[in-house]
Amino acid sequence: MILLLHLVRKDFKRNRVITTALAVFLILSALLMATGLRVAGTMNSSLKGLDELAVPPEYLQMHKGTYDEEAFDNFVATHEYIEDSLIVKMLDINNKNIIYQGETLEKCLMDNGFVVQNEGFDYLLNMNNEVAVVADGEIGVPVYYAEELGIQVGDVITLHKDDYSKELRVSTIIRDASMNVALASSKRFLVSPADLDEISRHMGENEYSFEFLLKDGSSTAALQKDYMDANMPAKGVAITGSLLTMMNAFSYGLVAFIIIAISILLILVSLLCLSYIIQATMADENVTIGEMKAIGLTGKTIVKLYQMKYIILVLIAGVIGYLGAIPFGDFFSSAVVMYCGYGTVEWMRWVFPLIGVILLGLIVMLGCRRIIRKNLKRSVVELMRGEEQIKKEGHYTLPSAGLKYPNLTMAFGELKCRWKEYLVVFLVFVFSSFLILLPMNMKNTIENPSFITYMGIGESDIRVDIQYSDKLTAQKDAALASLENDSEITKYAIYENGYVQSQNAVGEWEYLRVESGDEAVFPLEYLSGSAPSDSKEMALSYMNATELGKEVGDSMTVVYQGEELTFTVCGIYQDITYGGKTAKAAIDFAENDVEVYIIYVDVHDGVAIEKKTDGLRSILPDSKVTPVSEFIAQTLGGITDSMSLVEAAAIIISLLLIMLVTVMFLQLITAREHSAIAIKKAIGFSNRDIRIQFGIRILVIQFLAIIVGTVLANSLGEMIFGWMLSAMGASKIMLLVEPVTAYLLCPAAQLLTVFITVIVGTKVVRNYHIRDQIRE
């Protein structure tokens, strides 16, 4: 053992650069793997913990207006599958009446409701995940605002309307299992019963949330159907537990998913490099191995000898990766911890990464063993003769007209003959380019205003929501009158949203959200078919169509006000809002059944959207007016922030990766070509010429790899992104590429990194001497 370690130490000393590069490579793989799994473990524990402690409802139905409490109690009593129920009274306060540090929350898309702590389930928790308690004069603020606006304990929130003003001191930040994420459009503030009572006398509108816990094995769809059939209060959105889980998973899981995906790719690249390095170094060791075999060392001993180095490397990488994953993992999971806490199964964030690095270690060790064994199969004589060296590589021909650019001609010629040697480095460069572009393109796509088309509506500038108010019709009329006379507006369209019943795939009746309005004003790109053109046609969202097994041309029966209506499916579009299940049809909803009017507005070129939004807000005080770009940003909230983090991490990792691979590769090829370098020097090539030839070879390979990586990021990337978003309702995403960054700056940064690395890495050429080729 001591002898083995001694030999390994000598080997480290001899191949310092390669060993260091390989070590960094393995550490990076282990670090990413462990980080991804630590984020996954934390996320799992956090979400599970929050669910266990806050006990969110499995089904909740929002409602505005009056209701019959006795009828609700009867409904609960007569449905055995209901485990528990709750009526949560929420005082909706207009965002313009909530003031923090002198500014109202008017620009905020969220609906804000004030509640008291629940009893039984659906608790609002404090930052220690305990049931939060606030005294009179205090307020619990949703963690969303703590993140977005930087609200802290001790700050003051002022409620102000007309002559009434009330100051509430923030005593706790609230974690809300039902409405935590940015994707949920409502947020709940916690106040004391006395304060709620006082505030409700001066402002706000009561909204109720009818919440249910179900017995094991019960279906929320059945409850939804029974609830609607029983004419229970339902003037508002209905949310199922599975929708909450999906929103949470998408919001928090995206980063973990991307990091794990990157780490898996990186491990593959590491193995590829490892295999290349082992083969390259083993080729140089052939004579030594032959000698060892000749003096009677067994294959097993020789394998052990060569494997030892890689075992030590992977052990070091594993330990550093695991330890490094603690700060990195915590950084990437800070959002989920902030929103959900560490949870109840904290061991996951320690054990998951441990399993990951152990697996990585095993994969690397087994991989090394296989390659080394394969190399040892040759006979002593073959090894001693160095059979490897007599492999034929083929020729290139010098141009008959002469050499105008000798370095260029020779670099291309040698590349043509030795392209196989460059395969590994090519693949790594493709991977790096892909890795940089994919998150960047994804982020660009999400941030672009045209992303609204994946939310079931054509591109527009401003969105006006008129919802859940007794003054719904009056507001709508006022809004339309105002827009009609506004010369800055090019076009607008109003859409009514209401619910009809439809049968799901297993024959259960579900409520389906239908949008009715002129679909031609803001045309949407359909996956297949087109928008409804008459009252007999209905367009379905992708998820609805998939779940119901409907295609364009099929018929679709829905029930509205007890009457069966049959439509022909005319088109399928993408929509990630409302759980991805929506429809578009010309249904004339009764005024009472309209849940929300949404007006989309386009302004003339040159009109500042922000300014116009402010103008409309003052004209339409009871409506929610939002620029569409802001709507997307707020709806996707943390996702774009996470994507920015991932984008930055991907750029750093990729550049580091190409630098490392270039250093390693240059070390190997210059060592392999020491004889050619010496000959070139002897016949009159300068060191600079030879270094230029190496540079051209690597940069050409990288240039080709960037092209392939870019094409892959656009094509395969679209598939991956589409696959990720298909769970939400958009399957065919067109990645939007920012051409200057993607096609100019990123390739330039990568080429520059390699260029600088080549300058440094080829300095070694000066040391190769014709003298070393001579045996005196």
User: Which residues in this chain contact other proteins in the complex, by CB under 8 A?
Assistant: 390, 392-403, 406, 413-414, 417-418, 675-676, 678-689, 769-771, 773-776
Distance set, CA 370 to CA 4, 19, 373 (Å)? 20, 20, 5
Nearer to other proteins, 92 or 421 (CB): 421
Report the nearest approach of other proteins to the CB of residue 767 (Å).
12
Nearer to other proteins, 394 or 507 (CB): 394
669: tokens are 């090829």
In Å, how far from its chain's centre is CA 372?
Answer: 39
| C-alpha closest to that of 654 among 576, 753, 742, 557 | 753
Distance set, CA 616 to CA 186, 483, 508, 626, 713 (Å)? 22, 9, 43, 9, 41
420: tokens are 């196989």
Supply φ then ψ for residue 725, to 5 degrees.
-85, -10
Nearer to other proteins, 229 or 382 (CB): 382
Report the nearest approach of other proteins to the CB of residue 275 (Å).
24
In three-state form (DSSP H/G/I as H, E/B as E, the rest C), the secondary structure along 755-774 is HHHHHHHHHHHHHCCHHHHC
Report the nearest approach of other proteins to the CB of residue 415 (Å).
10
Nearer to other proteins, 308 or 671 (CB): 671
Report the nearest approach of other proteins to the CB of residue 695 (Å).
16
42: tokens are 């934390």
Nearer to other proteins, 406 or 722 (CB): 406
Report the nearest approach of other proteins to the CB of residue 409 (Å).
9
| C-alpha closest to that of 372 among 311, 297, 304 | 304
| DSSP classification of residue 530 | -
Report the nearest approach of other proteins to the CB of residue 276 (Å).
20
Report the nearest approach of other proteins to the CB of residue 394 (Å).
7
Nearer to other proteins, 377 or 775 (CB): 775
Angle between helices 638-672 and 687-726 (to 10 degrees): 150
413 Cβ partners below 8 Å, 6+ apart?
396, 397, 398
Nearer to other proteins, 400 or 487 (CB): 400
**Distance of alpha carbon 445 from alpha carbon 438, whole angstroms:** 11
Supply φ then ψ for residue 613, to 5 degrees.
-60, -45
Regarding beta strands 138-142 and 205-214, do their DSSP bridges make them parallel or antiparallel, or are they unpaired? unpaired
Q: Any long-range contacts for 714-719 (C-beta under 8 Å, 24+ apart)?
A: 714/437, 714/441, 716/434, 717/434, 717/437, 717/438, 717/441, 717/442
681 Cβ partners below 8 Å, 6+ apart?
687, 690, 768, 769, 770
In Å, how far from its chain's centre is CA 233?
Answer: 37
Report the nearest approach of other proteins to the CB of residue 284 (Å).
17
Nearer to other proteins, 117 or 409 (CB): 409
Report the nearest approach of other proteins to the CB of residue 683 (Å).
5
Angle between helices 241-284 and 638-672 (to 10 degrees): 10
Nearer to other proteins, 165 or 675 (CB): 675
**Distance of alpha carbon 760 from alpha carbon 505, whole angstroms:** 63
> What is the amino acid identity at position 362?
L
Nearer to other proteins, 3 or 390 (CB): 390
682: tokens are 């002897």
- Interior/surface letters 569-607, b for 16+ CB within 10 angstroms, e for the rest: bbbbbbbbbbbbbbbbbbbebeeebbbbbbbbbbbeeeb
Report the nearest approach of other proteins to the CB of residue 403 (Å).
4
Residue reference for tokens 């707020």? 634
Nearer to other proteins, 301 or 675 (CB): 675
Regarding beta strands 164-176 and 124-125, do their DSSP bridges make them parallel or antiparallel, or are they unpaired? antiparallel
Report the nearest approach of other proteins to the CB of residue 410 (Å).
8
**Distance of alpha carbon 101 from alpha carbon 167, whole angstroms:** 12
Nearer to other proteins, 299 or 406 (CB): 406
**Distance of alpha carbon 141 from alpha carbon 145, whole angstroms:** 7
Nearer to other proteins, 201 or 392 (CB): 392
**Distance of alpha carbon 522 from alpha carbon 545, whole angstroms:** 22
Report the nearest approach of other proteins to the CB of residue 18 (Å).
24
Nearer to other proteins, 377 or 771 (CB): 771
Report the nearest approach of other proteins to the CB of residue 397 (Å).
6
Nearer to other proteins, 415 or 730 (CB): 415
Nearer to other proteins, 443 or 681 (CB): 681
For 256, half-sphere exposure in the C-beta direction (CA atoms, 13 angstrom radius) is: 24
Report the nearest approach of other proteins to the CB of residue 396 (Å).
6
Report the nearest approach of other proteins to the CB of residue 766 (Å).
8
Report the nearest approach of other proteins to the CB of residue 405 (Å).
11
